[in-house]
């Protein structure tokens, strides 16, 4: 474990050096993400100018949910998105050969090559929004709530990682699998809506098959809706995380058997 942590620290250091060489690009991406996020808040403001509640969720509870979604999505993008998005290109060009020859687990090598520090900074904006929304709700989370929230967030990030990495593995069978990746990147924004608004088959798919709804709703409910018992939702999130991680690992190992390398 210490060896892998050392490797990750080195990759993060190299990423920071690379991003500091292009400071304007770093700042522009931060601005773009912030504008997108505040656009979501403006939409909520307009929506709740017409109604008091949506499916039992008040305005500031939904703002909390959007803030939590911002935290989780930005952490996912910071540590994994760019690496996963590059996997189809590694397979197509044969540059995956280098990853397979490194003295470490190949999935770890592929998944942690780069860190996007602009996304890390933007995740702090989500923290600020959640804090502001909790103030507006007049709610002070207890130590237990905060502990459960801190535990739930990494599980949410892991779900996004596992599902998107599994979709990237389709590149071993399909020449260009970027459409799967970009499609999921659009889908995971579903998580910023309250789970109560979803019904029928749609809710079943995005709760049990692709547990996107759980990712942000569970930690948001822990903070903003303490009257809802968090244990069932948290147990579902934990179970879903281990299931999709195991399925992704199995798919990755199966895909490697199909890989012919650049020299074959």
DSSP strand E in 39-158: where?
53-54, 57-58
Q: Which of 39-43, 63-67, 178-182, 190-194 is predicted with the least confidence, judged by mean pLDDT?
A: 178-182
Would you say residue 184 lies in a domain? yes
Question: By C-alpha distance, which of 121, 122, 113, 165 is closest to 33?
Answer: 122
Asked if residue 157 belongs to a domain, the reply is yes
Q: How many CA atoms lie within 13 A of 220 on its CB side?
A: 29
What does the pLDDT read at residue 21? 73
What global pTM score does this model have? 0.89
Q: How many domains does the chain fold into?
A: 1
Residue 220: the pLDDT is 92
Identify whether 264 is part of a domain. Answer: no
| Residue 162: per-residue pLDDT | 94
**Tens digit of each residue's pLDDT (9 = 90 or more) over 114-158:** 998 888 888 888 898 999 999 988 888 888 889 999 999 999 999
Question: pLDDT at position 17, please?
Answer: 81
Q: With CA atoms as reference, report the closest residue to 258 among 160, 171, 143.
A: 171
Q: Cα 198 to the chain's mean position, in Å?
A: 20
Which range (56-60, 68-72, 146-150, 223-227) has the least confidence?
A: 223-227
Q: Give the mean pLDDT of the chain.
A: 86
Establish if 12 belongs to a structural domain: yes
Is 254 among the domain residues? yes
Q: Tokens 């003295």 sit at which residue? A: 103
Q: What's the pLDDT score for residue 192?
A: 83
Band the pLDDT of 264: cuts 50, 70, 90.
low
Please report, rounded to a whole number, the percentage of residues in the chain having pLDDT higher than 70.
Answer: 97
pLDDT score of 191 more than 70 = yes
Higher pLDDT, 176 or 14: 14
Residue 193 domain-assigned (yes or no): yes
Chain Cα centroid distance, residue 232: 21
Question: Residue 23 belongs to what domain range?
Answer: 2-258
The residue that leads in pLDDT, 23 or 256, is 256
Tokens describing residue 182: 């970009």
């Amino acid at each position: 474990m210490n060896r892998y942590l050392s490797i990750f620290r080195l990759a993060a250091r190299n990423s920071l050096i690379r991003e500091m060489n292009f400071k304007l690009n770093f700042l522009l991406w931060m601005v773009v993400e912030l504008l997108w996020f505040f656009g979501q808040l403006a939409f909520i403001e307009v929506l709740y100018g017409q109604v008091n509640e949506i499916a039992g969720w008040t305005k500031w509870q939904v703002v909390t949910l959007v803030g939590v979604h911002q935290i989780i999505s930005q952490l996912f993008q910071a540590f994994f998105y760019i690496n996963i998005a590059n996997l189809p290109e590694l397979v197509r060009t044969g540059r995956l050969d280098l990853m397979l020859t490194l003295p470490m687990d190949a999935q770890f090598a592929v998944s942690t090559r780069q860190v996007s520090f602009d996304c890390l900074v933007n995740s702090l904006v989500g923290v600020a929004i959640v804090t502001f929304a909790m103030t507006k709700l007049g709610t002070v989370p207890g130590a237990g709530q905060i502990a459960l929230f801190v535990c739930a967030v990494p599980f949410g990030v892991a779900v996004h990682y596992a599902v998107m990495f599994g979709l990237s593995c389709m590149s071993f069978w399909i020449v260009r699998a970027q459409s799967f990746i970009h499609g999921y990147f659009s889908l995971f924004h579903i998580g910023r809506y309250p789970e109560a608004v979803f019904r029928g088959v749609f809710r079943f798919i995005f709760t049990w098959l692709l547990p996107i709804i759980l990712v942000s709703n569970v930690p948001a409910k822990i903070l903003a809706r303490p009257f809802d018992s968090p244990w069932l939702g948290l147990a579902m999130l934990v179970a879903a995380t281990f299931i999709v991680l195991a399925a992704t690992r199995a798919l990755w190992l199966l895909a490697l058997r199909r890989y012919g390398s650049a020299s074959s």
